[in-house]
Amino acid sequence: MAPTAPPLRALAQILPALVATLALAACETPGEVPRLSEVELDESAGQSAALPSEAELSDEGGLRAAPETPVPRTAPPQGGLLGWLGGQAAAAKGTGPDARQVPFGTALPHGEIARVCGVPERRLGVPVAQYPETRRGYVLYDSRPGTTAPRALYITGFDDGCARQVTGALALFGDPELHEQLRYGLAGGSLPKGPVDGAYETVKAEVCGVAPGRPCGRAMRRLARDTAFVSVYPAFGSASYVNLLLHDGQVVALEQH
């Protein structure tokens, strides 16, 4: 026999009591209600996946594509066209009269010149002369001062940071003004001409803007700032010598007399 439903009168008696109980629970103070932070959670419980951040959401409501890892790029050559030309000029510098490089202490015959790199100036010897005299430019070092025998002489002040080595008993600096007095003077026509004279005319034309065979003029001070001659003698009183032309931190020409 199936159970019968409770009478309506019994339900009417139960409902008021149930409503009163719920009302009392709602009136409890907040401090009596357990907080979420006070509830102990099971550490073994699984965790839900993190929601996407606002930065990851696209304007259209979807997810943004993951940022691509930047690919390393090779740094472009510095200096543009001028830097490239400078590199080409440095590479072509190996064809000059001072193209040869030798280890420090190498004995060179008189009349030859070579580069010596990576040697501190204090090891080159004693500085005995400089050009110009009023400021540091080219400096002449004597490896064995006090002797008249031929020996290694070094010149510094070049763009590549390497010294230039020559062999001689005596070396002297000369300035462009003295050269012009000798070359363009009355006795200039009888003097022999060589590579140094031709190179000087080219340098003078670029700096002074004058025609060949003409003095530099007003631009002489600017020309003499970094242009010098070096005469190297194999012995004191010798009629033969080696002549060098230095300009703008380079050995421009060499000739033997």
pLDDT of residue 136: 81
pLDDT of residue 221: 94
Average pLDDT of the segment spanning 154-181: 96
What is the tens place of the pLDDT at every residue in 73-125? 333 333 343 333 333 334 445 678 999 999 999 999 999 999 999 999 999 99
Chain-centroid distance of CA 112 in Å reads 32
DSSP 87-155: HHHHHHGGGSTT--B--TT----TT--EEE-S--GGGT-EEEEEESTTS-SEEEEESSTT--S-EEEEE
| Contacts for 5-13: CB closer than 8 Å, 24+ residues apart | none
Q: Map tokens 């009888």 to a residue.
A: 190
pLDDT of residue 206: 96
Alpha helices by DSSP H, listed for the chain, are 8-26, 80-92, 176-183, 195-208, 220-224
